[in-house]
Structure 1
Amino acid sequence: MPAQETHKPAELIWGHGPKKLEVFLEPTCPFCVRASRKLMPLLAHVGEEAMTLHIYLHSQPWHLFSGVVTRCILAAAALPEGRDKAWQTLRSVGDHREEFEFAHHYEGANMHTTPEELLERLEVYTRLNLAVPFRLASVTEAIKAHTRYARHNKIHVSPSFMLNGTLDERFQSGQSVEEWAALLK
C-alpha cells in the first residue's frame, strides 16, 4: 500500500541569478560525484545573485542501482528542508559510492544487496528516515519529471550541463571551479 502523501519533493535549485546552469547527475557515477563536489563551490565563487543552479537526477541503466538510489535522493527531497536533505543524501552516496554500485557494473559484493538494504545504508549515512517518503507517489512523479526533462533536452550521458537552456559540452567534470566560472561569462 502506498504511503500517505505528505510532501512533494523539493526542486533542487540554489541561487537566483540570471545565469542558469542545469546539471544532470547520476548519483553513483564517479564523474558525476567529481562534478557534484564542485557545484556548491562554483555557486559560492560566482555568487547566488549571479547564478541559478538546478540539479536533475539522471538515472543510467548501466549503474544497476541507479533507479533505487535516485529514488532515495528524491525521497529525501520530500522531507522538511528537502532540497538540502536531498543534497546531503547525494553527497552521502558519493562519499560511499562503492556501497551503492557494482564492480565493473555487473559483479562484486553488491550482487546480493537488496533495495531495502540500500535504503537502510543511506539512512545510516544520512541519519534521515527515508523509508516513508521512499514510498510516496509524489517521489515517483518527481523521478518521471526529472527523466522527461532530460529526454526532452536530449540528455543521454551524465554529467551533462545546460547553460541558459542549451546543452553545453564545454563543461567537463575534470575541470576546476574557476574553469567552470569562466564558461559562465
Structure 2
Amino acid sequence: MALQPTLRPFVLGNPAAPHTLDIFLDYVCPFSRKMTNNFNASVKPLIENGGKYDGKVKAIIRQQVQPWHGTSTYVHEVALAVARVSPEKFWEFHVALMNGQEDFFDIPSSNRTPTQTRVKLIELALPIVGEDKKEVLTDLLTHKTTPNGGTAVTDELKYTIKFSRQNSIHVSPTVLWDGLVANDISSSWGEKEWTAFLKSKVLI
C-alpha cells in the first residue's frame, strides 16, 4: 500500500518486498503493546538482515490515533518527530514508547498540561536518540504558527489519520495482509502462529 515518503522509517524490511503487512497500532493501547512485542520477537527477525522472508515481506507500522484517550495525539506526534530527527532509531523508540505507555494512560496523565505531556515524551526519547536532539525535538513539537495551526508534524499526523479513515480502520491493533484485513491475526500471536501464517501466505 502507499506510504507518504516522510514516513519511510515506519517500514520494516525491504521496501521493495512484494508482500506487505500493514499494522495499525495506538501507543496507548495495551493490545498494541502486546502486538508490538510479539512482532518484534517473532516476525521482525524473519523480514530483515537475511531472515527467511527478507526481500519477500515488509511491514508498515500505521499509526492508529484513538482520540478517546486524551494523550493519543501527543504520543503519536512524538513518534513522528523521532522518525524525522533519528529515523534509524524509530523502531527502538517505538518499542520503548509502547512499553512505557502506562505513564500516558488517561488517569496518570489527567493532571498534566499538553506541554507537560510532550516534555515527558521527549524525556522518554532522549536516551534513545541522544541528548543533542532535545532542542530539535522540542521545536518539532511546539506550537509556533497560527493559534490553531498545530506543530511541525501535524501534517504527517493528519495523513496517518486520513489514511485510517479512508480504509475504514477502527480498532487497534488491526493488521492487513497485502491490503486486506486479516481478522485472524491476534495480538497474542507468538512465533508458532506467525510462522504458520507466513508459511501459508508466502509461496514464492
Residue in structure 1 matching 2:140, options 119, 123, 133: 133
Change in Cα spacing, 1:181 to 1:63, as seen in structure 2 (3 Å) is farther
For 1:10 and 1:133, the matched residues in 2 are separated by 18
Secondary structure, aligned partner of 2:35: helix
Letter in 2 for 1:55: I
Question: How many residues are matched?
Answer: 171
Give me the identity figure in percent.
Answer: 25
Question: Partner residue of 1:105?
Answer: none
Q: Which moved more, 1:15-24 or 1:122-131?
A: 122-131
**Deviation per residue, 1:54-108 (Å, 9 max, x gap):** 01111002222101111111111111x32x4332332222222221111xxxxx3
Q: For 1:12-161, what aligned pairs fall within 5 Å after superposition?
A: 12-16=10-14, 17-41=17-41, 42-45=43-46, 46-79=52-85, 81-82=86-87, 84-102=88-106, 108-127=107-126, 128=129, 129=134, 130-135=137-142, 139-161=153-175
* Aligned-partner residue type, residue 12 of structure 2: W
With the length of structure 2 as denominator, give the TM-score of the two structures.
Answer: 0.76
- The gaps in structure 1 that reach 5 residues or longer are 1-7, 103-107
> TM-score w.r.t. structure 1 length?
0.83
Larger radius of gyration: 2
CA contact (8 A) 1:73 1:89 kept: yes
- Output one character per residue of 1:33-64: Cα deviation in whole Å (capped at 9) or x when no partner: 11011223302135322211101111002222
Q: What amino acid sits opposite 1:133 in the alignment? A: L
SS at match of 1:126: helix
C-alpha root-mean-square deviation of aligned residues, in Å?
A: 2.0
User: Structure 2 regions of 5+ residues with no counterpart?
Assistant: 1-5, 47-51, 143-149
**Distance in structure 1 (CA, Å) of the matches to 2:166 and 2:184:** 20
CA distance in structure 2 between the partners assigned to 1:101 and 1:125 by the alignment = 15
